[in-house]
Amino acid sequence: MLTAKQHELLNFIHERLAKTGVSPSFDEMREALDLKSKSGVHRLISALEERQFIRRLPNRARALEVVRMPDVAVPASAAAPVPRPIVPAAANDTIDIPLHGRIAAGTPIEALQGTEAFSVPAALLGPGEHYALEVSGDSMVEEGILDGDFALIRKVDSARDGEIVVALIDDEEATLKTYRREGQMIRLDPANRSYEAQRYDEGRVRIQGRLAGLIRRY
């Protein structure tokens, strides 16, 4: 069951693909649906993707494909075929997500403070809600996470062994580490031989998100 806005967006994308073979830009979708920001479009796209009405073609921010339309009573002769989009040569759509300050990749420091806008290429983000953190420290260098990088975090509250997560310790400090469970204990592993693993009672640790990507500025 789609919401009115999801249905409106799906129809808009379908009609544009049928007419031009190219999916509309995020700005065009925002204007067509009278939304205030592209983040609203991103949420609608993610919802349609999760419900398998559309899919994004790999590595192309604007390349959307309509997989199916909602079940409606339409005569077969009137049903338009679902077109395959022509992949554009370049795409530069971006999405603004919150930037919540700096997070330690070494010793835990206070994090998740402040909220600035951070522009991210839409193609880097999958479904779900995301935020960004600036990495401080060198304890995750063997995972390719360097001081000054921007970690793109998908909001989740649970993790599996081996996932790189934002862990909030004692509701005060946060750190970026690899998650491991040891019975009733949580082990947070660095990716630098110079650092030791951190162990906490499970009640002291809350998962704030899972690493979804990195952005490095030169």
pTM, two decimal places: 0.56
Residue 43 predicted with pLDDT over 50:
yes
Q: Is 9 exposed, middle or buried (0-12, 13-18, 19+ CB in 10 A)?
A: buried
* 37 alpha-carbon distance from chain centroid: 16
CATH 2.10.109.10 domain range(s) in the chain: 94-215
Per the model's pLDDT, the better-predicted residue between 63 and 190 turns out to be 190
Half-sphere exposure of 93 (CA within 13 A, CB side): 26
Query: Taking residues 175-187, what's their average pLDDT?
Result: 94
Name the average pLDDT for the chain.
80
CATH 1.10.10.10 domain range(s) in the chain: 4-78
How does pLDDT run across 4-31, given as a tens digit for each residue? 888 888 888 888 888 777 788 888 888 8
* DSSP, res 85: P
Q: How far apart are the first and last CA of the chain?
A: 45
Residues acting as catalytic residues: 139, 177
Length of the chain in terms of residues written: 218
| Orientation angle between helical segments 38-50 and 4-20, nearest 10 degrees | 90
**Is-contact 168 103, C-beta < 8 A?**
no
- 92 — pLDDT class (breaks 50, 70, 90): low
- 62 — pLDDT class (breaks 50, 70, 90): low
Looking at the chain, the whole-number percentage of residues with pLDDT higher than 70 is: 82
Per the model's pLDDT, the better-predicted residue between 1 and 54 turns out to be 54
Q: Which of the four CATH numbers 3.40.50.10860, 3.30.300.30, 2.10.109.10, 3.20.20.10 does domain 94-215 have?
A: 2.10.109.10
Fold of 4-78: Arc Repressor Mutant, subunit A (1.10.10)
Distances (CA, A) of 11 to 24, 48, 81, 137, 189: 12, 11, 13, 47, 47
Show the tokens assigned to 24. 């509309």
